[in-house]
Structure 1
Amino acid sequence: MSIVTQRPSQGAAPAGVAAGAELTATPVAPAATEPAGDVPLPDPAPGTATLTDTHPTPHTAADARLGLEFPPDFGWGAATSAYQIEGAAKDDGRGESIWDTFSRTPGRTHGGDTGDVAADHYHRYPADLDLMRDLGLRSYRFSIAWPRVQPDGTGAPNQRGLDFYRRLVDGLLERGITPMATLYHWDLPQALQDTGGWENRDTAHRFADYARTVFDTLGAQVPTWLTVNEPKTVVQNGYIIGHHAPGRRDTDAAYMVAHHLQLAHGLAVRQLRDTGSRSRIGPALNLHPCYPADDSVATAEATRLYDGYENRLYLDPIFTGSYPADVLADLGPDSRLARGIRDGDLAAISSPVDLLAVQYYTPIYVTATGGTERRWPTSVAAWQQIFPDGMYDILTRVTRDYGPVPITVTENGLPTPDALAADGTVDDAGRVSFLRDHLAAAHRAIAAGVPLESYHVWSLMDNFEWEQGYAQRWGLIYVDYATQRRVPKRSAHWYRQVIADNAI
């Protein structure tokens, strides 16, 4: 998922959140209507809940059907990432990542939580795959842990790590679920960080080598590859605010990192093409529509620049082969980004892609001074304003500005204050309402001509939520971390029916 962040010139409050703002939850009003009937499902894997083990709460206004059908071949999916669910941090030759280092540093994460165990997916993946099958998923977006494949980020691969992902992909295909694999979801090998990390241009080339290793092993079985997940979050949260790994606060370094992440993306695209693979490939970008807080000319100008840092800095190089001129001018000709662009870099970055993965969580309202305002209720994540129309706006904007590149939504969701009830159920009505309303916006975007192919809920299951540790729950599946028991929430039952009906 994404943490909303900020331009380097702003203060420390997350964008879209006033300093000291209180957290709010989405209210849901009950209504007395009957639940949809369950479709019989296979017997559960030992020790794992299925969608028939718990019974959905009767429909309320939160999950009322809207009668909106999706295209017949629409891909319904869910998403996770390696460090957030796998655990097994020291198993089978896995190396240390920057998130291992960061989360084990006192004061960096909520309660000192780490991803050492997380949801223990590494050991429990067969049962988790059965849950995905029972849910009816057509697509599963996951990430490959670079330090599990190359413990030090270079050299010969760790065969045990590659074998895990081979088993995972095989298990998905056996259950009729299409794999969608992300090469990098923030878990840089610590050994590469020790030599400069993403500030070091060589890391982009090491990433290309790693990508080639993975492509050569799994490429024929994975029809869709995503290169770098949310480079903006790495830049802003890892190098400006400093509350993500590697925990730096250096604006000039941050935008050098942006360039090297973009270069890594382009080099990975070229590696896949070089294999002769017929698989598709593209970036995964968290995009946030930026709106002016008022009608003044100054606010319009500030909003345009803010959008440059939030969106165009990552879209333009990939789709137009250039960085936005207003952002470069704002950073200045002596910035490390400007000085770090070499001949051929932008040609590599703009290597043709087959699709764009869009991740939408929140809008941003920009003031004349370049600050931000909150306009909508937030989830229990204070940075997230709940505004479904932003989904429509960002999808149509991308198609309008960059052409009809196929789009997949690879993250969209929210945390809710989930609790396991005495009867063994989890009633996350707020999540159901959120997903329904955002899917309605996505449906409207399709009707407007957006080539949206698929949608992936964030997240399949509760997990390690970065600096928030285990304090926030984002999943369709409740994870009891003490026992690793999985319990499908109300939203899982609802989403299962959406998939079965291909409609909301």
Structure 2
Amino acid sequence: MHYQFPADFWWGSASSAPQSEGESLNFGKSETIWDRWFDEAPTRFHRQVGPAQTSTFYQHWREDIALLKQLRHNTFRTSIAWSRLIPDGRGAVNPEAVRFYNQIIDEMLSQGITPFINLFHFDMPMVMQQAGGWENREVVEAYAQYAQTCFHLFGDRVKHWFTFNEPIVPVEGGYLYDFHYPGVVDFRRAATVAYHTMLAHARAVQLFREGQYPGEIGIILNLTPSYPRSSHPADQQAAHIADLFFNRSFLDPALLGRYPAELVALLEEHQQLPASQPGDRALLAEGRVDLLGINYYQPRRVKCRDSLVNPQSPFMPEWFFDHYAMPGRKMNPYRGWEIYEKGIYDILSNLREHYGNPRCFISENGMGVEDEQRFEQQGQIQDDYRIDFVREHLIWLHRALQEGSHCLGYHMWTFIDNWSWSNAYKNRYGFVQLDLDSQQRRVKKSGEWFARVASEHGFTQHSD
């Protein structure tokens, strides 16, 4: 069976400034929450590897962009670091940063690679966090001014902008489940952070359109379909509420310009609604995106709770459902995540059926594997498991396209093995192997396979 994709399909991968640039406190860059957290609690990071030890893109950008070209990328997403461009969070622009970002944008374009630029990838400048972070509406406006600065400096060449990557992750990690800084467990503060993030998004979109910059602006959301254990009404309702919390809380405002009434009512009932101001509703309505990026890694399987909630416990989404380990599910044995390729099709079908079939693309999909050197032969990682992973997801993506989905591309996470938050280098995701000691780059088998697929805009799946 041959799977052919459109001639103008976007083939590429994704990365981010804090995970690839390095030089985290050099060349005028100020510290982010990650630099501070590593300084305060290095044991929270795998093998005590912190944000200074990334894949050194700041030094190797020319070599890395040449590798993108070798991998036949026609598009590539990375981010601008707010703390590098405007070290004080607002005010003066760092000329070193402008020079660096101009160089990488120009080099990508000269190699025929369209830059997709994201403005925020979990990397809150510490000066802004000290002002309250996303809990403070003044930080919302500071972010909007930073976004406008980026449009002004780079918008003549960058035609695909994104306000946020996975904005729910700092909410969950920093304010609910304690896996990101500042490690708060407080739903109402989390809801405030989520709400202000979407106000910041909408304000950036508003400024982009007012400035009449060329191109388009979007947001990147990690969408995780919620599958109920059974057809029992209680399981169905559990999945519905999980979907409201983890998908629709960002998807609805991004695509429809408003929050789901059901979610608002639920939070109001439990006294968890964030404070709003006159004009917020109108501003959110202006935040509807031109393009949606979809990060998909794994499904969420849920069942109804079979025990009562401790009323003294912190309010949590899990008051309304339990996680469910489906028997017989396919697993990534190295990462502990379920692999469910059809999820990518279900997301695209849902967007087509319930959201007017928006312009979108798969902005991340990936497979992390620990101790990948095990699979090295003759100097190359033989990551057939990653090839299988991508191929099977692309088959379901192709089916969605055949049914009319407006999906424009597929980006893998990630181009080169990179630093990943508190997990550091525990799991490797790249098409390119990174030797941490020598910083040598070597293309894995999956990278060669992906280059062939991209150059041919498709592949043939041989039946066994």
* TM-score computed with the length of structure 2 as normaliser: 0.92
Aligned to 1:479: 434
Q: Does 1:458 align with 2:405?
A: no
Aligned to 2:383: 428
- Structure 1 residue 480, shift from structure 2 partner: 0.3
Amino acid at match of 1:408: F
1:247-306 per-position Cα deviation (integer Å, ceiling 9, x unaligned): 222221111100011111101111111221121001100001111101111111111111
Contact 1:226 1:282 in 2 (8 A): yes
- Structure 1 residue 320, shift from structure 2 partner: 2.5
Aligned to 2:169: 233
1:328-380 per-position Cα deviation (integer Å, ceiling 9, x unaligned): 233235745x3422222232223232111111111111101101112323325
Aligned to 2:402: 447
Contact 2:89 2:125 in 1 (8 A): yes
Aligned to 1:358: 294
Q: 1:412 aligns with which of 350, 354, 365?
A: 365
> Structure 2: 5+ residue runs without aligned partners?
306-320, 460-464
- Structure 1 residue 319, shift from structure 2 partner: 2.4
1:18-417 correspondence to structure 2 within 5 Å: 66-104=1-39, 105-332=41-268, 335=271, 338-351=273-286, 352-369=288-305, 370-375=321-326, 376-379=329-332, 382=335, 384-417=337-370
Q: Secondary structure at the match of 2:44?
A: coil
1:42-94 per-position Cα deviation (integer Å, ceiling 9, x unaligned): xxxxxxxxxxxxxxxxxxxxxxxx41000111110111011111101122100
* TM-score computed with the length of structure 1 as normaliser: 0.85
Aligned to 1:21: none
Q: Distance in 2 between matches of 1:344 and 1:282?
A: 22
Contact 1:99 1:246 in 2 (8 A): no
Amino acid at match of 2:131: T
Q: Distance in 1 between matches of 2:336 and 2:142?
A: 34
Q: Distance in 1 between matches of 2:64 and 2:137?
A: 38
Q: Distance in 1 between matches of 2:335 and 2:27?
A: 38
* Percent sequence identity over aligned pairs: 35
Q: Distance in 2 between matches of 1:68 and 1:210?
A: 42
Q: Distance in 1 between matches of 2:143 and 2:116?
A: 18
Q: Distance in 2 between matches of 1:109 and 1:364?
A: 26
Q: Distance in 1 between matches of 2:126 and 2:168?
A: 20
Contact 2:298 2:343 in 1 (8 A): yes
Aligned to 2:315: none
Say which is worse superposed, 367-376 or 206-215, in terms of deviation: 367-376
Q: Distance in 1 between matches of 2:120 and 2:260?
A: 25
Aligned to 1:6: none
Q: Secondary structure at the match of 2:332?
A: coil
Aligned to 1:30: none
Name the structure, 1 or 2, with higher relative contact order (CA <8 Å, separation 6+). 1
Aligned to 2:462: none
Say which is worse superposed, 296-305 or 375-384, in terms of deviation: 375-384
Amino acid at match of 1:396: S
Amino acid at match of 1:301: Q
- Structure 1 residue 384, shift from structure 2 partner: 2.4
Q: Distance in 2 between matches of 1:320 and 1:274?
A: 20
Contact 2:42 2:50 in 1 (8 A): no
Aligned to 2:318: none
Q: Does 1:500 align with 2:436?
A: no
Contact 2:361 2:409 in 1 (8 A): yes
Aligned to 1:29: none
Contact 1:220 1:279 in 2 (8 A): no
Q: Secondary structure at the match of 1:341?
A: coil
Q: Distance in 2 between matches of 1:339 and 1:424?
A: 54
Amino acid at match of 2:379: G
Q: Distance in 2 between matches of 1:303 and 1:344?
A: 32
Q: 1:489 aligns with which of 423, 426, 444?
A: 444
Q: Distance in 1 between matches of 2:281 and 2:167?
A: 16
Equivalenced residue count is 438
Q: Secondary structure at the match of 2:376?
A: coil
- Structure 1 residue 171, shift from structure 2 partner: 0.3
